Structure 1
Amino acid sequence: MNRLLLIPLAPLVAAASSVCADLPEQIDALCQPYVESQTVGGMSVGIIKGGQAFVRGYGQLSADDSTEPDGETIYEIGSVSKVFTGLLLAEAVIDSRVSLVTPADELLPKGVTMNRRHESLPIRLWHLSTHTSGLPRLPSNLDTSDPDPYANYGGRELAAFLKEFQPRKRPGEQQAYSNLGAGLLGSLLAREQKTGYDDLLQKRVVEPLGMKDTRVKLAGDQRDRVAPPHTGGGLAAREWGFDQLAGAGGIHSTANDLLSFAQAQLDPPEGDLGQAIDLAWMIHQQPIDEDDFAMGLGWHVARDGSTRWHNGQTSGYHAALFISRRFDAAAIVLTNTATGEVDALAGQIIRLLAGQKEKPREFEKTLEIDPELMRGYAGVYRFAPGVDLTVTTQGGRLMAQLTGQPAVRVYPRSETEWFYKVVEATLTFQADGKGRGTAVELFQNGIRQTAKRVD
């Protein structure tokens, strides 16, 4: 949920060859490199193609638990939650409780206000679902330095922000990804029904679709099936809690449940929920700028004009969901590693299901490095006043943290040159005769910068 990772999915064109009977083995070939390269720790992958549906598990839950994830393993799905919130909006419209053009401020609690850019231009509910509301990505009074930033952001904090916020854009003027907007939408829809977001989700979507493990707050044995969260570097992370902004990224789910959800998108059930699924699937917002995606309610529409998708990331998880009605196919990728690398995997899988040939990804191989050498590099390196690179070793991994940014794992290309996976950049260390690091060179975007050790 930290950011939207843009997926420029190329047009899906039906290939001459059909998807073979050995589809599970083809999926394995695409997925295994992500585990073998340690890009992810554990991963559950759900597939629908025609009448075939299955889940494959890869890797293990953690360094201390060799259990392979499966279809019942529970993950945080981050911003994929926005698709569920969009469907809740569509369901409320079909049920005539609200309309897409209902002004958001009309559903606020008594005494809570939000400013309009112009009195005649309210933020409407569909603006919140298509990221055209003019609201920022996050409210300014949410503490992003908190390791669990959304857990204590409640109604009082949201009301305080809305009261002070002055919109700079007219609703519909610009597409700008907003966790706040989606979270507010979920809160308003729940309040309209005098209930909480999780209860609304259960009643209107989860229970009708037979999804037993999709919810904000887990209970009972569900806690025992949660995959332990990890950072992109493989270190232990923490789960996130949600209060008022749960509709933006607070849902947990499993590959099995998301297969049920995806099948309902491919073949909507009869009745109001099926109509709501079709309403959410429709395109409600065309791209405004060149880099924008068309949008349904919560859904991003891929460049092929047909595939619907969303991804999501929290502190220790990443999720991606791609669905194509044209090819009667869906790809679900859930991992307990916070890395956007798996979005490329989901894209490969949906193209494979469309009949295209896909080659397994080749990751750069890394070396086995003496832990003593890594400990020699650990220290603080200064590029400029206030701009330090702090290098640490954690669990046999070398971590690099630039001032104001999270610690990220770097990987050895040689004993002195280390590379990032999250960005195109390298670190090259200099050391004295005793192996103690004395300086490091950062190479990124064609620019080399050297930092001297200062600790």
Structure 2
Amino acid sequence: MKTSATIAILLLLIASISQAADLAQQVDRLAKPYIDSETVVGMSIGIIQGDKTVVRGYGKLSADDSRVPDGRTIYEIGSISKVFTGLLLADAVVEGRVSLVTPVEELLPAGFSMRRRDEVAPIRLWHLSTHTSGLPRLPDNLKAADPNPYAEYTSENMAEFLAQYQPRKKPGENMEYSNLGTALLGMLLAADQKTDYATLLQTRIATPLQLDETQIVLSAKQQNRLASPHVDGGAPGRTWDFDVFAGAGGIRSDVDDLLKFAQAQLDPPAGKLGVAIDLAWRIQQQPLDANDFAMGLGWHVAHDGSTRWHSGQTGGYHSSIFVSRKLDAAVVVLANTATGEVDVLAEQLMRMVAGVDEKPREFAKLVEVSPEKMERLTGKYQLAPGAVFTVSVQGNKLLVGLTGQSMLRVYPRSETEWFYKVVDATLTFQVDKSGRGVSVELFQNGVRRTAQRMGKNE
């Protein structure tokens, strides 16, 4: 009897390993084209499907570090932070500190004030978490063009903006995605407990769920596991630091931690935190427009009515998480490349988990242009006074930057015609007999503008 039981257990274990291996192969098949096409430099993927968990890594940490990312590689997760802030609101409600309908004005710290669109209708906490507050996406005193836009935006800056901002819509009148609204929510919840957002995140969510790598500020050891950031096209990007906007996009994490977080959504732990998870999961706002998604607290609700999801992007990373209690499944994709293509992959993986026969994507094949020929296009081209294109070569990549903007990779349709992936724009070079660029034409939004090569000393 003992021998038979042991054999049965062994067979179940072998079957489980085989199923996980099959799942890993399916993930590899869908992920590989994103690396082969250089759409993504490196990424880590985590899948939960019932009792199976698979973690896979692809690509490399950076152009100078060929190590393959894994489940412990850390990334900026951007706006997935909003899901954590929504859970912090639910936690405060369960603890009895606030209610979903508590007016924001009641929690404003000293020195803050807000104008109302309607005296009868204040902004309430749940409005901030469901993007129905009437607050704009970003405050107009934020230097959004800065390579690290949120680092120096403080609570004083937020107070200055809120004091003068006149809402155009009543709370609850429409859905307008607002980083500002979630940032304000995170600040208010932390201030109510006389702490900062990073500490509140640790004490109320990360520590109870054993999310050891989920932080606002990384330790030195964690910093060594942070994948290098890249913009769409593979050029170097920037890490982003956050002050008062931390609750909207400041969290860093890894796939192993986010799978733990996803598992807690699928099977909430006993106690008040589990109650808070269910509260945040519950639909709190139905769509107000055909293009809207229903909302939990921080969570978007997919059109199937059951899957919760969110994505995030910073100056060099993109992240996506999908969780379905109906399927008992979750998908996490973290990439060190700021491209929305990551969301497409995450959706593919979620459909695969749901049983759909997903086909690997086919990316357009690029014309091969030698680095020597690309070098002949390098230089500076003046589009207008104060607006200069800088063209350079990095390895086998042609990079173009306009004054005050990041260097972005462009892709060849021919030796002289190149296109961006991050925006719908084309650059066409005019060359002399030696192949040296003499001008470049920008075609964007139906308009053609020509930039002339500048002299060697300019």
- Whether the TM-score (by the shorter chain) exceeds 0.5 is yes
User: What does residue 15 of structure 1 align with?
Assistant: none
- Secondary structure of 1:364's partner? coil
**Deviation digits for residues 140-187 of structure 1 (CA, Å, limit 9, x no counterpart):** 111123221111111211111111111111111121111111111000
Show the 5 A alignment for 1:24-103. 24-103=24-103
Give 2:301's aligned residue.
301
Partner of 1:182: 182
CA distance in 1: counterparts of 2:312 and 2:139, whole angstroms: 19
Measured at CA, do residues 395 and 350 of structure 1 come closer, stay the same or move farther in structure 2, by a change above 3 Å?
same
Please give the alpha-carbon distance, in whole angstroms, between the structure 1 residues aligned to 2:21 and 2:56: 16
| Distance in 1 (alpha carbons) for counterparts of 2:172 and 2:392 | 46
1:241 — aligned with what?
Answer: 241
1:9-408 map, 5 Å? 22-381=22-381, 389-402=389-402, 406-408=406-408
Query: Within 2, Cα distance between the matches of 1:104 and 1:380?
Result: 51
* CA-to-aligned-CA distance 1:352-374 (integer Å, 9 cap, x gap): 00000101111112233222322
Are the structure 2 counterparts of residues 435 and 21 from structure 1 closer, same or farther at C-alpha, using a change threshold of 3 Å? closer
**Alignment check: 8 A CA contact 1:235 1:395 kept:** no
* Cα pair distance change 1:294/1:388, threshold 3 Å: farther
Tell me, in whole angstroms, the C-alpha distance in 2 between the residues paired with 1:308 and 1:232. 26
Q: CA deviation at 1:402?
A: 5.0
After the TM superposition, which of the residue ranges 403-412 and 290-299 deviates more from structure 2? 403-412
When structure 1 is superposed on structure 2, of 419-428 and 358-367 the one drifting more is 419-428
Most deviating of 327-336 and 401-410: 401-410
1:453 aligns with 2:436: no
- In structure 2, stretches of 5+ residues that fail to align are 1-18
CA distance in 1, matches of 2:300, 2:285: 10
Q: CA deviation at 1:396?
A: 3.9
SS in 2 for 1:22: helix
Q: CA RMSD in A?
A: 2.0
Q: Could you give the per-residue CA deviations for residues 87-127 of structure 1, whole angstroms, max 9, x where no partner exists?
A: 10011111111011111121111232111112222111111
Q: Give how far 1:66 is off.
A: 1.3
- What secondary structure does 2:337 align onto? coil
Structure 1 pair 147–20 and aligned structure 2 pair: CA distance change class (3 A)? closer
**8 Å contact from structure 2 (residues 284, 295) kept in 1:** yes
Structure label with greater radius of gyration? 2
Higher relative contact order (CA 8 A, sep 6+): 1
Secondary structure at 2:334's aligned position in 1?
strand
* SS of equivalent to 2:368: coil
Whole-Å Cα distance in 1 between the matches of residues 226 and 415 of structure 2?
37
Cα distance in structure 2, aligned partners of 1:94 and 1:424: 47
Unaligned runs of 5+ in 1: 1-18
8 Å Cα contact 2:377-2:436 kept in structure 1: yes
Shift of 1:237: 2.2
SS of equivalent to 2:224: helix
The percent of aligned pairs where both chains have the same amino acid is: 62
Query: Aligned partners of 1:88, 1:454: CA distance in 2, in Å?
Result: 54
Equivalent residue number for residue 418 of structure 1: 418
Counterpart-to-counterpart distance in 1, 2:404 and 2:118: 37
Q: TM-score, normalised by structure 1?
A: 0.91
How far does residue 413 in structure 1 lie from its aligned partner after superposition?
A: 2.4
- Over 3 Å counting, the alpha-carbon distance change for 1:421 and 1:310 in structure 2 is same
Q: In the aligned structure 1, how far is the partner of 2:230 from the partner of 2:395?
A: 12
Summarize the Cα distance change of 1:171–1:239 in structure 2 as closer, same or farther, 3 Å threshold. same
Which amino acid letter does the alignment assign opposite residue 121 of structure 2?
L
Q: Is the 8 A contact 2:23 2:54 kept in 1?
A: no
- In the other structure, the counterpart of 2:11 is none
- Aligned-partner Cα distance in 2 for 1:191–1:156: 14
Shift of 1:261: 0.3
Query: What per-residue deviation string (whole Å, max 9, x for no partner) do you get for residues 58-77 of structure 1?
Result: 01111221111111111100
CA-CA distance at 1:310 after TM superposition: 0.5
Distance 2:182 2:146 in 1: 21
TM-score by length of 2: 0.90
User: Would you say the 8 A contact 1:437–1:453 is kept in 2?
Assistant: no
> Separation in 1 of the partners of 2:174 and 2:388?
36
Q: Distance in 1 between matches of 2:157 and 2:95?
A: 30
Q: Tell me which residue corresponds to 2:3.
A: none
